[in-house]
Structure formats: structure tokens, C-alpha cells
Amino acid sequence: MTTFYNEHSKVFVSVDCIIFGFENKKLKLLIGKRKMDPGRGSWSLYGGFVEKDESLDDAANRVLYQLTGLKDIYMKQVGAFGAIDRDPGERVISIAYCALINVKDYDKGLLEAHEVEWVNLEELPDLYSDHNDMVDKAITLLRRRVSSEPLSFNLLPDMFTLTQLQHVYEAILGEAIDKRNFRKKIKAVEYIEKTDFVDKVTSKRGAALYRFNKDAYLADSTFKL
Amino acid sequence: MTTFYNEHSKVFVSVDCIIFGFENKKLKLLIGKRKMDPGRGSWSLYGGFVEKDESLDDAANRVLYQLTGLKDIYMKQVGAFGAIDRDPGERVISIAYCALINVKDYDKGLLEAHEVEWVNLEELPDLYSDHNDMVDKAITLLRRRVSSEPLSFNLLPDMFTLTQLQHVYEAILGEAIDKRNFRKKIKAVEYIEKTDFVDKVTSKRGAALYRFNKDAYLADSTFKL
DNA sequence: CCAAAAGTGTTCCGTCTACACCCATGG
DNA sequence: CCATGGGTGTAGACGGAACACTTTTGG
């Protein structure tokens, strides 16, 4: 069995997580300063090596769980990055994954424990190695998918106002959206359901809270926004 | 420098090429029977291991070159596949790449030398390991991109008739397209240029040959079809 | 009472779709 | 002369974009 394999060389494989959050009308990224060589001290995505007993997806979920304590998170593979010298220490090929989480679900204590921070996407610093390329590709994918897949809800609490939802779209697409046209489209989507709850935090008048009905969506998986 | 790396395990990394061609109104895939264990004799994509001195993209291009003798081919990464047992022999993570080539550019002699064949996409057999998943993902990407990127020309000779071009779109999208509407759109695209040449092979009357002007496209990279 | 956010319809314009006939030619 | 594929225009439907005012209420 160990036949032709031996002629070839093995390499390290890691996963890097591009973790998007949304707060205050802005897309945010969870990044930290590297605590190891090479690249100690530079801003970096959070990552980890793929171990023998886990698939790539499993590794990405494990790394995300280690950092955030969250499971069953929206995660998509962004792509494999494999320039020869992308890691100055050893040959390491890395698979980038993109995760969308609700910032409110994230335990603030962990921010300090792991020494990571939420940084506005627009103010993203230079990151370690090719991590900026990973982020760029992730955003490109996100923009492409946000209109054809119900992604956006992953960045919000279970219940949200239409204004919040609109802000998510605006942040991802990077452009203003007309309020009336947006709401018209939303009303046509049957699995975005109005609840009887009202949010009085951001407005004096109060805004109706909506909910994404995942089961209804799965029953009729058409999405267009 | 060899510090924390050692705690982790290395794995083999390979690339697999999903090579699309177009002939006789059909999308075709270049596949062969595996000539090695594990999986000897089963239909398979053409692949190879990533070596120390090459990036992932380089490896994919080398593998494609070894098989076809072609360089500077349209190639896009499809994604990384890393289920634990996807290769029954050893842990191997594979990066799938999608290539589009003009079947006419492919030396028929190489077909036999490498024992590979063009197979209609619709008649694709069960492939080794997760190769069918790779193909499925490649097609999904292709469908998504074909309307927003000038891919289709890679599947045709330098000069082509509008009917041929339409057949390419129909094959990729898997649905019939109205001839008049299609030609109307094409005429609006300034970098699809009519030449003075006429193709008399497929019709008695003769069909005008067109050419994709890459420089004109790059000068104004908008594409919508 | 006023600032701040929520909520609500209509019109216009451009784009997509459906659809059928004549043309040129080689065999 | 006819079978085969090449080539052409129009009308109606539909969806997207632009656009402004009223409502509620906490401070």
C-alpha cells in the first residue's frame, strides 16, 4: 500500500478562519496578534493545523470552536492557499474558511483570553503572510452569494429589525440601498416572518422584529434579493 | 525555527484537474482509468502530487501540461477536498482545479499515450473517490461564472461562429437559448468582433467567424451575458 | 415640541422574453 | 430544387430604480 506515495513529500496543512461579524452598521473581522514564530506580533487570522483524525471542515469547525465556543456556525471554504514561501518557517498549505457569526453570541471574555479583536473591515491592517488575500477572496465570495443565499441572517440575532437587515446588506455590498425597495422585496419573501415583538432600543417609536424561518426556507429553497 | 510545527502531522497534498472540452454541442471531460493502487482501473480525474518546489497553481499547471502539452490555459481553483478517508491508501488532501481547453488543441496521440478519453458530461461514470463531487462543484462554479466572465471562448478555437458560441452557453447552462436574443446581446459586446472570414464547414451558406478580442476586454472588463 | 427612526406606493424606464420568416448554397 | 443552417426585428411583460411624506414617542 505504501507504494508510490513515498516518492512524494508531505506538507503541513492548516486552516485559517475569516470570521465576520456585524455591529454598528459595519462588517467586522475577528483578528489577533500572532503569538508564535514566525510572524510573532503581526496581525493575523486565527488558524490551526489539520490533524490526522479530522477532515478539513472538521478542523475549521474545531478552530472556530476553540476561539469562540460556538458550534453549528455558517462556514464556507474560501480556497486553498499554497505559495511556496507563504509561511517563512516551513512549507504550509492553508485552507481558508469564512464564518459568519452574531457578535452578540460571542463571549467578550474570550476576546481577552485569546487576545483577539473585532476590527472594522474598512480599517483592516496588513495581516500576516497571505491573510489579506484570503480576506479579499472571502469578501468577493460573500458579495456574490449574499443575493442568492440567505447568509445575512447569520450575522444578526434570531430576531432583527428590517433596518438592521438592510444595514447588513449595505455593509456587505458596500453601497446604499433604497429603504422602500428593500422592504418591498423582503415582504415578498414568505420565510422572513414578522413577529409580534417590538424593538424599542434603537428607536423611540419601536420597530417590528422579524425572524428568518429556516424550515420554511428549506421547504422552498429559492432566494433572490 | 522548527518549533511548534513538529507537534503536528504532515500530509500528502495533490491536485486534480477537471478538464472541460466542447465538441458536437456537448461539454466533455477528460478522464482516464487509474493506473495505480489504490483504485486501479476505476475512472478518475487526472492528478498529481504537489511537490516541494511548486505552488498549488504551479502543480496544477504542471499536471495539465504533462497530460495535454498545453500551457497558459484557463484554470481556476475549485476547492480543497480533505475527508479523512478520501484516499484509501494514505491521508491525501486534494485541491481540485478546473481547466477549459479547446478540444482541437489537444493532440490526439496523447489520448492514447495517457489512456484518457473525452467523455460527455451527461454520461459521466462513477469516478474514483470524491472526484464526482469535484466535478459537481466545478460545474456549479462554471455555471455561476459563465454569465459574468468571458469563459466560454476558452472552449472554442480562436475564431468561431455565433452558433458555436451559443451551443457552448447552452451546454454549460443546460438549457436552450433563443437565437435572436442571444445574437442581440452578442452584438452589444464590442470585444466580440466579427472577422472577414467565413466558415463553410457546418453550413452551405457559410457563417461569419467571430473573434474574442482579449485586449479590448481587458481595457473595459465588463461582461454580462 | 422636536429629533430620530419606522413605515408606506406609484411611476417610469430599461431589460428580458416570446416569437416566425427569408436567405444563401451545396449536393 | 430542396434541405440545411444563417441571419434578422418587434411588441408586450416584467422587474428594478427613483422618489417624499406621515407616524410615533422619548426626552
Q: Write the pLDDT tens digit of every residue in B96-153.
A: 999 999 999 988 888 889 999 999 999 999 999 999 999 999 999 999 999 999 999 9
Alpha-carbon gap, residue A196 to A42, rounded angstroms: 47
State the pLDDT at residue A50.
97
A112 is known as an active-site residue? no
Q: Which three cell numbers stand for residue A204?
A: 423611540
Instruction: Give the model's confidence band at A2: pLDDT under 50 very low, under 70 low, under 90 confident, else very high.
Output: very low
Residues of B in contact with A3 (CB under 8 A): 36-37, 89
Chain D nucleotides near the protein (CB, 7 A): 3-10, 16-20, 23-26
Q: What is the pLDDT of residues B150-165, one digit of tens each?
A: 999 999 999 999 999 9
Residues of A in contact with B54 (CB under 8 A): 84
Q: What is the pLDDT of residues B198-225, one digit of tens each?
A: 999 999 999 999 999 999 999 988 888 8
Instruction: Give the model's confidence band at A5: pLDDT under 50 very low, under 70 low, under 90 confident, else very high.
Output: confident
User: Cβ distance A99 to A18 under 8 Å?
Assistant: yes
pLDDT above 80: residue B5: no
| CA dihedral for A181, A187, A192, A198, sign (positive or negative) | positive
Query: Which of A51, A82, A90 shows the shortest C-beta gap to B56?
Result: A82
pLDDT above 50: residue B2: no
Q: What is the pLDDT of residues A46-72, one digit of tens each?
A: 999 999 999 999 999 999 999 999 999
State the pLDDT at residue B3.
55
pLDDT above 50: residue A1: no
Instruction: Give the model's confidence band at A121: pLDDT under 50 very low, under 70 low, under 90 confident, else very high.
Output: very high
Residue of chain A minimizing CA distance to B144: A144
Residue ranges in A126-178 assigned as alpha helix (H)? 131-146, 162-173
State what percent of residues in chain B have pLDDT above 90. 87
Q: What is the pLDDT of residues A7-60, one digit of tens each?
A: 788 999 999 999 999 999 999 999 999 998 889 999 999 999 999 999 999 999
State the pLDDT at residue A3.
55
Instruction: Give the model's confidence band at B36: pLDDT under 50 very low, under 70 low, under 90 confident, else very high.
Output: confident
Instruction: Give the model's confidence band at A157: pLDDT under 50 very low, under 70 low, under 90 confident, else very high.
Output: very high
State the pLDDT at residue B222.
85
Residue B152 burial (CB < 10 Å; 0-12/13-18/19+)? buried
How much is the average pLDDT of B157-185? 98
C-alpha dist (Å) from residue A39 to A13, A33, A67, B65, B180: 17, 9, 20, 36, 58
Chain C nucleotides near the protein (CB, 7 A): 3-10, 16-20, 23-26
State the pLDDT at residue B4.
65
User: Cβ distance A48 to A34 under 8 Å?
Assistant: no
Residues of A in contact with B78 (CB under 8 A): none
Query: Which of B1, B13, B38 shows the shortest C-beta gap to A93?
Result: B13
Pairing of strands B12-23, B92-100: parallel
Interface mutation vs chain B, best among A56, A141, A148, most B CBs within 10 Å: A56
